[in-house]
Amino acid sequence: MITSKIISNGILRSVLTIVVVGLILLFLYKIQSVLIYLVVSLILALIGTPILDFFKRRLKFNHIFATIAVLFIFILIIFGFIMLFVPLILSQGQNLSLLNTGEIEQKIILLVNQITAFLDNHSIDSAQVLKESNITSKINFNFIPDFLNALLGTISSFGMGLASVLFITFFFLKDSKKFLIGSKKLIPDSHEDQVLNSVEKTNHLLSRYFIGLLLQLFIVFICYLIVLIIFGLPNAIIIAFLCAVLNIIPYIGPLIASLLAALLTMLSNLGSDFQSEILPTTIYVLIGFWIVQIIDNNLSQPIIFSKSVSSHPLEIFLVILIAGFLFGILGMIIAVPLYTIIKVISKEFFPENPVIKLLTKDM
């Protein structure tokens, strides 16, 4: 029989549960930077594991020296990017008018006026609509100083974040076996083999996935760079790098990269004739980017990803598409790693299920 005491105890437990969950979520929110450091360090450790094994097996390094060597490679890569981009940004900062809000506004207005004149010359009504909307007066450029201040704040904290990530990555690589042995004590004996096999396979597949992702971004970067150099765009390396990084976002990222490249192409050619120089160059750059994206979306990306995580290209496409509809851009980014983890766990715990058997036949 349900009494008032039982009901009050149930309500009390529910309230305490809500409070505890709320406190945990608040705690996680407060330490979100630490969580980001841990995730980035885990990704670096997954990428570094095959390199660590190479140093230990082929070059006969002991474990500590191999770990230090992997960390040294990461530091060299990061330092190389810094040495590559900082001088370019410093030397081109005045040309790009990064600190001159008024000049940026003048360039945007000049570009809009040139587009309007071009449309007028071709008797397109949208030119008149563009004038009547007075779009240039509606663009607020005051966000630029705030953005730059935020950027400077991010750069100032980058050193601390980088040091933290490298420190954590070192111990992820160095003590990975200790972490595995320690986790065994928390796993029920009946499921120990399944859990450990899942961890081992997940680590292997995700290592291949992130290495494949880096390879795919490098291929896209080189292709973008070739397109930009062919058409003589200034700061081609920086633009190609930014556009390649945007490819981390499947399908939507390349679209944003194309729009960014088109805008930077038009701004870099301001002062030239719009119809004979700016418009053709922009169209050629867009065509070049679209060709790169077609090759990437239909050839390099499906092959690299499907081989790295042992999934069919159509399977990868559908997973990314569904994740995008359900969780947006973040879902598209984490779709493949998360799907891989789910497949590995499913195969270990439900190996006889016909659907799981079909999906994991190549794993």
More confident residue, 61 or 356: 61
| In a domain? residue 122 | no
* Judgement on whether residues 162 and 205 belong to the same structural domain of the protein: no
User: How many separate domains does the chain show?
Assistant: 2
% of the chain surpassing 70 pLDDT: 72
CA atoms of 277 and 236, how far apart (whole Å): 18
Q: How far apart are CA 42 and CA 6, in angstroms?
A: 46
- Whether residues 322 and 359 share a domain: the answer is yes
Domain of 49 in residue numbering reads as: 8-96+151-174
End-to-end CA distance of the chain: 53
Same domain for 199 and 297:
yes
Are 308 and 208 in contact, with CB atoms under 8 Å apart?
Answer: yes
| Whether residue 194 sits in one domain with residue 156 | no
Residue 272: beta bridge partners? 270
- pLDDT tens, position by position, 316-338: 888 888 888 887 777 787 788 88
How confident is the model over 262-313, as pLDDT tens digits?
888 877 766 666 667 777 888 888 888 888 888 887 777 767 777 777 777 7
Q: What is the mean pLDDT of residues 42-55?
A: 83
Q: How confident is the model at residue 99 (pLDDT cuts 50, 70, 90)?
A: very low
Tens digits of per-residue pLDDT, 187-231? 676 666 777 777 778 777 777 888 888 888 888 889 998 988 888
Q: Are residues 92 and 205 in the same domain?
A: no
CB 76 within 8 A of CB 84: no
User: Which string of DSSP letters, residue by residue, matches 318-354?
Assistant: HHHHHHHHHHHHHHHHHHHHHHHHHHHHHHHH-TT-H
SS3 category, 312: coil
Same domain, 187 and 208: yes
Residues 162 and 183 in one domain: no
Q: Distance between CA atoms of 41 and 173, rounded to whole angstroms?
A: 10
Mean pLDDT computed over 253-257: 84
pLDDT of residue 122: 65
DSSP letter at 97 equals T
